[in-house]
């Protein structure tokens, strides 16, 4: 990196932001100084008090003439100093565990009036399924953003089962739907987020997406997920175009004691900030560094080229272990083209679906996985700080059918 790069700020709490340059030890700057108690002043003898003469005529020494009697002042005790108060340890929040998040995922999805679950069960359980009824089933699935290919697969499977079994009993139909939907969501995909150290370096996660998907908020919430799993996290505020983005990210970090690497200059080179965040995380011996990037429209070539540059610059320092694309679940099929362009530029490895609890279009999970060939790894459930959860296919399907 060039020596002209702007200095950065390392922020781990509002009162402990320390300026550092690329030549400083980030790990050293990040340590909090220990407070040592002060000692009281030394007690000295009174003025004029000496040691008694040494020697005597009998002892061969030099005799001294007796002088006037020496008096000493009474010992004076030093005043007791008040004890210094220990420095206060910041009260960090304790993020919710993954188990608690998954329980709320199911509850919230069950309240979303999913077209896939309630709509299909109502159609399939009424009996007398003629061609018009099956067209209604298709329309319901397409409306739920399942996608044409997956819709045809599911309808054909259900038609076969109804014909073979000769029943439309609701409990039986529910079992068929669960089996087929779970197959479409594909529980065999690896949904783990790369968040553990790789050899002697931290894992690097790059988070990308279009404007308005809640990307910076998602990075902050993901930090909470990882802190709950006892990961040592560093945040990199590489969204240098939106004035409040770095402050917003630092606030998320402050709440759980996670440091944020940010530029002290508005409009700084995002690639330089990302590079220094990875460098700082390595010096801190962190487990994982999360890099937030500026939201950008997928059809703006210059902005997508810049994102590619951020990726290349990071890779000069360290491999990137995870690229998470944040998508707004309420955009449905419109988000799929965005996803494809981002995947071409930065090799997306996982999807984060936000606002999933605010839509009845749960089929987007299947559609985006098929479009990109990568798994949905995390889902956003609401506005709360712990409303981001690992995606669990079985819990998701069960919630749709509740």
Is residue 154 within 8 Å of 141, Cβ to Cβ? yes
Question: Does 216 show up as a binding residue in the annotation?
Answer: yes
Considering Cα of 368, then 372, then 375, then 381, what sign does the dihedral take?
negative
Is there a binding annotation on residue 296?
Answer: yes
Q: Is 371 annotated as contributing to ligand binding? A: no
368 is in an annotated binding site: no
Question: For the sheet containing 8-11, what is the strand order?
Answer: 18-20, 8-11, 260-263, 233-238, 288-293, 203-209, 322-328, 350-354, 376-380, 388-390
Contact (Cβ atoms closer than 8 angstroms) between residue 380 and residue 394: no
What CATH number is given for 98-185 in this structure?
Answer: 1.20.120.140
Structure confidence at residue 311 as a pLDDT band (50, 70, 90): very high
316 is an annotated ligand-binding site residue: no
Whether 98-185 shares its CATH topology with 203-393 is answered no
Does 354 belong to an annotated binding site?
yes
- 147 has binding-site annotation: no
Structure letter (DSSP) for residue 78: P
214 labelled binding-site residue: yes
Cβ-proximal residues to 225 (8 Å cutoff; 6+ apart), any chain: 95, 98, 101, 378, 388, 389, 390
* Segments making up each domain of the chain, as ranges: 98-185, 203-393
What kind and span of H or E run contains 389? strand 388-390
Tell me: is residue 59 an annotated ligand-binding position: no
Q: Average pLDDT of the chain?
A: 77
Given a contact cutoff of 8 angstroms between Cβ atoms, the answer to whether 324 and 215 are in contact is no
Tell me what percent of the residues of the chain surpass a pLDDT of 90. 38
The reported pLDDT for the residue numbered 53 is 40
Half-sphere exposure of 285 (CA within 13 A, CB side): 3
Alpha-carbon gap, residue 369 to 373, rounded angstroms: 5
Query: Is 355 assigned a ligand-binding role in the annotation?
Result: yes
Q: Is 356 within any annotated ligand binding site?
A: yes
Q: Are strands 233-238 and 260-263 parallel, antiparallel or unpaired?
A: parallel
Give the pLDDT band (50/70/90) at residue 58. Answer: very low
Top CATH class, 203-393: alpha beta
Cα dihedral 182, 95, 291, 372, rounded to 10, equals 0
What's phi and psi for 306, nearest 5 deg? -65, -40
Which pLDDT value is given to residue 76?
58
**Local confidence band at 146 (pLDDT 50, 70, 90 cut-offs):** confident
Better pLDDT: 276 or 57: 276
CB 184 within 8 Å of CB 365 = no
């Amino acid at each position: 990196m060039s020596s002209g790069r702007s200095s950065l700020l390392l922020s781990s709490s509002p009162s402990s932001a320390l300026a550092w340059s690329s030549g400083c030890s980030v790990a050293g700057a990040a340590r909090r100084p220990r407070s040592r108690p002060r000692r009281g002043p030394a007690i000295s003898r009174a003025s004029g008090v000496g040691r008694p003469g040494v020697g005597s005529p009998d002892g061969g020494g030099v005799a001294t003439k007796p002088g006037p009697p020496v008096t000493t002042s009474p010992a004076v005790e030093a005043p007791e100093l008040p004890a210094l108060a220990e420095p206060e340890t910041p009260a960090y929040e304790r993020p919710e565990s993954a188990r608690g998040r998954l329980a709320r995922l199911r509850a919230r999805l069950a309240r979303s009036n999913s077209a896939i679950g309630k709509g299909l069960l109502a159609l399939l359980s009424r009996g007398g399924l003629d061609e018009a009824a099956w067209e209604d089933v298709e329309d319901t699935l397409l409306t739920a953003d399942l996608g044409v290919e997956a819709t045809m697969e599911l309808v054909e499977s259900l038609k076969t089962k109804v014909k073979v079994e000769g029943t439309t009993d609701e409990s039986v139909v529910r079992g068929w739907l669960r089996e087929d939907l779970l197959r479409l969501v594909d529980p065999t995909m690896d949904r783990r987020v790369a968040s553990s150290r790789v050899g002697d370096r931290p894992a690097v996660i790059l988070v990308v997406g279009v404007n308005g998907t809640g990307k910076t908020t998602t990075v902050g919430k993901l930090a909470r997920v990882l802190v709950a799993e006892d990961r040592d996290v560093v945040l990199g505020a590489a969204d240098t175009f939106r004035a409040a983005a770095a402050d917003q990210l630092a606030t998320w970090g402050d709440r759980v004691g996670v440091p944020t690497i940010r530029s002290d200059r508005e409009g700084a080179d995002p690639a330089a900030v990302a590079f220094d965040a990875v460098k700082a995380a390595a010096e801190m011996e962190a487990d994982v560094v999360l890099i937030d990037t500026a939201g950008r429209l997928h059809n703006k070539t210059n902005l997508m080229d810049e994102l590619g540059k951020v990726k290349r610059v990071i890779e000069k320092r360290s491999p990137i272990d995870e690229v998470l694309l944040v998508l707004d679940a309420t955009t449905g099929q419109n988000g799929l083209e965005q996803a494809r362009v981002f995947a071409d530029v930065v090799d997306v490895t996982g999807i984060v679906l936000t606002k999933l609890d605010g839509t009845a279009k749960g089929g987007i999970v299947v559609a985006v996985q098929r479009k990109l060939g990568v798994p949905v790894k995390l889902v956003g459930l609401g506005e709360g700080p712990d409303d981001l959860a690992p995606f669990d296919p079985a819990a998701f399907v069960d919630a749709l059918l509740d």
